[in-house]
A and B are shown apart, each in its own frame.
Chain A
Amino acid sequence: MCAEVEETLKRIQTHKGVIGTIVVNAEGIPIRTTLDNSTTVQYAGLLHQLTMKARSTVRDIDPQNDLTFLRIRSKKHEIMVAPDKEYMLIVIQNPSE
Chain B
Amino acid sequence: MPVTHKTLVKSKQGSNAQSQQKPLAAKTAKVVSKKKDEDDGTEIGEGGDEWMHGKTLIKPPDQLDLTEAELKEEFTRILTANNPHAPQNIVRYSFKERSYKPISSVDQLAVHFFLEGNLLHRDSDEARRQKAKQGLPDEKATVVTETEDEKLETPLQAAGGEEAGDVEEGGGEDGAHSVDSKTGKKEQKLTNQFNFSERASQTLNNPLRERGCQTEPPPRASFSATANQWEIYDVYLEEMQKQEKNKEKAKAVPKKEDDKGKKKLTLVETQSDDLTKVAKVAKIIERMVNQNTFDDIAQDFRYFEDASDEFREQEGTLLPLWKFQYDQAKRLSVTALCWNQSYKDLFAVGLGSYDFTKQGRGMLVFYSLKNSTYPEYNYPTTSGILCLDIHPDRPYLVAVGFYDGCVAVYNLKEERPEPVYKSSSKSGKHTDPVWQVRWQKDDMDNHQNFFSVSSDGRVVSWTLVKSELVFTDIIKLSLVGAVSEGPEGVPPPTMACGTSFDFHKQINYLFLVGTEEGKIHKCSKAYSSQFLETYDAHNMAVDAVKWNQFHPKVFISCSSDWTVKIWDHTIRTPVFIFDLNAAVGDVAWSPYSSTVFAAVTADGKVHVFDLGINKYEAICQQPVVAKKKTKLTHIEFNPVYPIIIVGDDRGYVTSLKLSPNLRSKPKWGRKKLDIQFSGIHYYPPSFLFLRKTG
In the complex, the chain B residue whose C-beta lies closest to that of A32 is B275
Candidate in B273, B284, B285, B374 with the most chain A CB atoms within 10 angstroms: B285
CB-based contact A1/B415 at 8 Å: yes
How many residues of A are counted as interface, with CB atoms below 8 angstroms from the partner's CB atoms? Answer: 39
Does any Cβ of B come within 8 Å of A43's Cβ?
no
Does any Cβ of A come within 8 Å of B442's Cβ?
no
Interface residues of B in 267-310 (CB under 8 A from A): 273-286, 288-290, 292-293, 295
Which A residues lie within 8 Å of B374 (CB)? 8, 11
State in angstroms the CA–CA spacing of A96 and B423 once bound together.
Answer: 50
* Chain B interface SS verdict (over half): helix
8 Å CB contact of B293 from A17, A64, A69, A84: A17
State in angstroms the CA–CA spacing of A9 and B273 once bound together.
Answer: 16
Does any Cβ of B come within 8 Å of A89's Cβ?
yes
Q: Contacts A31-B273, A87-B277, A91-B289; is A8 near B282 (CB within 8 Å)?
A: yes
8 Å CB contact of B285 from A16, A63, A91: A91
Which A residues lie within 8 Å of B67 (CB)? none
In the complex, the chain A residue whose C-beta lies closest to that of B273 is A31
Q: Contacts A11-B373, A95-B295; is A84 near B288 (CB within 8 Å)?
A: no
CB-based contact B293/A12 at 8 Å: no
State in angstroms the CA–CA spacing of A28 and B275 once bound together.
Answer: 16
Q: Contacts A31-B273, A56-B230; is A16 near B279 (CB within 8 Å)?
A: no
8 Å CB contact of A16 from B278, B281, B293, B415: B293
Does any Cβ of B come within 8 Å of A36's Cβ?
no
Does any Cβ of A come within 8 Å of B686's Cβ?
no
* Chain A interface SS verdict (over half): mixed
Q: Contacts A5-B276, A16-B293; is A82 near B285 (CB within 8 Å)?
A: yes
In the complex, the chain B residue whose C-beta lies closest to that of A85 is B277
Q: How far is the CB of B622 from chain A (nearest CB, A)?
A: 28
Q: Contacts A5-B279, A8-B283, A84-B277; is A93 near B415 (CB within 8 Å)?
A: no
Interface residues of B in 217-248 (CB under 8 A from A): 226, 228-230, 232-234
Q: Contacts A1-B276, A56-B228, A64-B233; is A11 near B292 (CB within 8 Å)?
A: no
Give a binary string over B404-420; 1 marks a CB under 8 Å from any A CB, 0 the rest.
00000000000100000
Interface residues of A in 38-63 (CB under 8 A from B): 56, 59-60, 63
Give a binary string over A1-39; 1 marks a CB under 8 Å from any B CB, 0 the rest.
110111011011001111001010100000110000000
CB-based contact B292/A89 at 8 Å: no
* Range, interface on chain B: 20 to 34
CB-based contact B275/A23 at 8 Å: yes
Q: How far is the CB of A56 from chain B (nearest CB, A)?
A: 6
Which B residues lie within 8 Å of A6 (CB)? 275
Q: Contacts A5-B282, A56-B230; is A15 near B290 (CB within 8 Å)?
A: yes
Q: Contacts A8-B286, A60-B228, A71-B288; is A95 near B293 (CB within 8 Å)?
A: yes
Residues of chain A touching chain B, judged by Cβ–Cβ distance below 8 Å, are 1-2, 4-6, 8-9, 11-12, 15-18, 21, 23, 25, 31-32, 56, 59-60, 63-64, 68-69, 71, 78, 80, 82-89, 91, 93, 95
Which 10 pairs of residues, A with B, have the shortest CB-CB distance?
Answer: A59-B230, A63-B233, A63-B230, A95-B292, A84-B281, A82-B284, A8-B282, A82-B281, A89-B281, A5-B275
Sample (29) of A-B pairs whose CB atoms are under 8 Å apart: A1-B415, A4-B279, A5-B279, A8-B279, A9-B275, A11-B374, A12-B286, A15-B286, A15-B293, A16-B293, A17-B293, A21-B285, A32-B275, A56-B228, A59-B228, A68-B284, A69-B285, A71-B288, A80-B285, A80-B288, A82-B284, A83-B281, A84-B278, A84-B281, A85-B277, A88-B281, A89-B282, A93-B293, A95-B292
